[in-house]
Amino acid sequence: MRRRMALIVLLLAGGAVLFLLQRHKVSTPITPRPLLYLVADGEREAERLPLDITQVSDQEEMRVGARLSIGVCHAQGQNRDADFVKIHTYVTQVGEAVARNVNRQGIHYTFCIGDSPGFVNAYALPGGYVVIGRGLLSLLESEDELAFILGHEIAHVDDRHAIERVQYQLASRKLGLESVYQLGAPIQMLYESGYSKEQEQEADRDGIALAYQAGYSTKGALDVMARFEKIDREMHSAAGSPVEEFASIPFESLEEYFRSHPPAAERRQALEQIIASHSWNANAPVRPYALRPIFLAEQAAALDAQGKFAKSIARYKEAINLDSMNQRALDGLARTDWRSGDGQAAETAAIAAATHNPSVETVRILARAGSVSNRQQAIEALTALTTRQFQGKPTQQYARVELAGITAGHPPYASSEYRVLLSELANQPQLDAMVRTEMAWWMYRAGNLKEAVTELEAAHQAFPNFGQAMLWKAWVDSDYGHQADAENDIAASLNAGIDNNSDSGATQAAIRAVISWRTDKKDLAETQFQQSADNEPVWMVHNWVANNFSPATAAILFQLQGAEAARREEARKKREAR
């Protein structure tokens, strides 16, 4: 008895911990495996107990569900970007269609999104609250697959698995159902760990029927199980290596999903039998998955961060083919093209992205890529941006400064238009600093180092917290031959509170490497550069360096790239020899 109480306490505490971890969306996933096992074991133990539970009414179950879903479904108001709204609307639409033929018509279904790429799971709370994680959604490829997954969760509610689970939990502690209002949200974690094998089989059986009755192809259920089988196999054959197709999902989360469910092969075989026994068509065509472009863009971004530019580009293009208005994919393609060193492709992609609602970064890439590719075309696209609906927004201010920068060969435009822009930004010091820093890049590229330094100092004065200005000044000062000043600039950029992400960390290491090289500390330079290249693969891209830096600095970076490539080759040979 004592052991069981201890288990339950642990189980609830574990639930609370997991709940907090998930709510705070930790970026490094902490595997909740041991805790989940504990939850699952505790659950089985509780279910073996000869406890009497009475059947509750639909209304009562809805009240219990409303309580348990606090913090899960009611947090849906946060993070509402366009993608999230699209995901939520679509899941709700498919889910409501699937729920139409449930037995217990008194239960109203609510669909909630677990908005983290690491959330590779789905579960249902009593009262019809179905939660599906973004990570799981990203693995699907047809609407029919989604219909089956949702059907399975709806069946857990319709078959009373969900409400009975909380009833058993409470009864084993000699508590009435009213106590659920004191337990609160942490108990929801019970539902993520899966049910008994019999209940899982029942949910598959009733779930596929619900999806079929809603007009979905049963092929969806078989397809998704076949994919899970494949992922499971790949994960265990290439021990520890992430499955590349799902680059945006933490490996641990994928593993977790397979641990909490019966083997996919078993489920698929059982589903095939069910389909055969009803003489359902297992080959009816499936419907396209409207969320596919969103997740393709997400995977493409993850591949880009790993330096797998060709694969990233292919995936962005796939997303754009499916949805030519997907801004994230349009912006992402321009960015990855640019980072891969292909100025011409980057310009074309940035112009395409700029016809909709481009990010500020896309505007910058458009201009920079135009300066090494088709200048006239970039000038036209930037001019169009200055006259579009972005009046007074950063997109437009950037289009104006880029236009001034790219036409710097024509001083009348550059000087007058740029000064007009600065005068308009007199009351917006942060934007003023950003615009000046951007202009300084054009001055630096044109070899006007002195002008660039003046501009960056003005940027720093306008908004001292914009650390990027000082970081760029370090490049310029080093090029200028002022290595001590460049060191001071880096320190100043750190004091200014520059984003402490891996991106600027890699940039700082690269500047330090160039400074070391110029002061004849070549070994140190190579070590510092290795740090840049390890953290941000773009530093190894020859043309990206050529497109962004002055010829003098690029020449040093090329040498450092060569040394790093040789070091990597050496390390590879050593590994192979072993």
DSSP 522-551: HHHHHHHHHHHHHH-GGGG-HHHHHHHS-H
What's the min distance (Å) between Cβ of 129 and Zn ion?
Answer: 15
Distances (CA, A) of 4 to 45, 83, 171: 8, 44, 13
DSSP-based three-state secondary structure for 521: coil
Q: Which two tokens stand for residue 272?
A: 């095939």
What's the min distance (Å) between Cβ of 271 and Zn ion?
Answer: 13
What's the min distance (Å) between Cβ of 199 and Zn ion?
Answer: 7
Residue 16, C-beta contacts closer than 8 angstroms, at least 6 positions apart: 186
How far apart are alpha carbons 290 and 323 in whole angstroms? Answer: 9
- Pick 72 or 203: Cβ nearer Zn ion: 203
How far apart are alpha carbons 243 and 251 in whole angstroms? Answer: 7
Q: Which two tokens stand for residue 455?
A: 């501009």
- Pick 157 or 470: Cβ nearer Zn ion: 157
Q: Which two tokens stand for residue 372?
A: 């090494």
What's the min distance (Å) between Cβ of 225 and Zn ion?
Answer: 13
Site stretch for Zn ion (CB under 5 A), options 96-104, 196-204, 443-451, 561-569: 196-204
What's the min distance (Å) between Cβ of 330 and Zn ion?
Answer: 38
- Pick 194 or 343: Cβ nearer Zn ion: 194
Dihedral sign, Cα of residue 255, residue 260, residue 266, residue 271? negative
- Pick 130 or 301: Cβ nearer Zn ion: 130
What's the min distance (Å) between Cβ of 196 and Zn ion?
Answer: 10
- Pick 265 or 546: Cβ nearer Zn ion: 265
Told to check if 154 binds Zn ion by CB under 5 A, we report no
- Pick 201 or 454: Cβ nearer Zn ion: 201
DSSP-based three-state secondary structure for 123: strand
Q: Which two tokens stand for residue 556?
A: 């040093």
Site stretch for Zn ion (CB under 5 A), options 172-180, 193-201, 417-425, 434-442: 193-201
Told to check if 509 binds Zn ion by CB under 5 A, we report no
Query: In this chain, which of 203, 414, 425, 490 binds Zn ion, going by CB under 5 A?
Result: 203
Type and span of the H or E element at 327: helix 327-339
Q: Say if CB 154 and CB 102 are below 8 A apart.
A: yes
What's the min distance (Å) between Cβ of 208 and Zn ion?
Answer: 13
Residue count, binding to Zn ion (CB under 5 A):
2
What's the min distance (Å) between Cβ of 152 and Zn ion?
Answer: 6
Distances (CA, A) of 499 to 471, 493, 503: 11, 10, 9
- Pick 153 or 342: Cβ nearer Zn ion: 153
Q: Which two tokens stand for residue 236?
A: 């265990």
Told to check if 235 binds Zn ion by CB under 5 A, we report no
- Pick 200 or 323: Cβ nearer Zn ion: 200
Residues at the contact surface with Zn ion, assessed by CB under 5 A: 200, 203
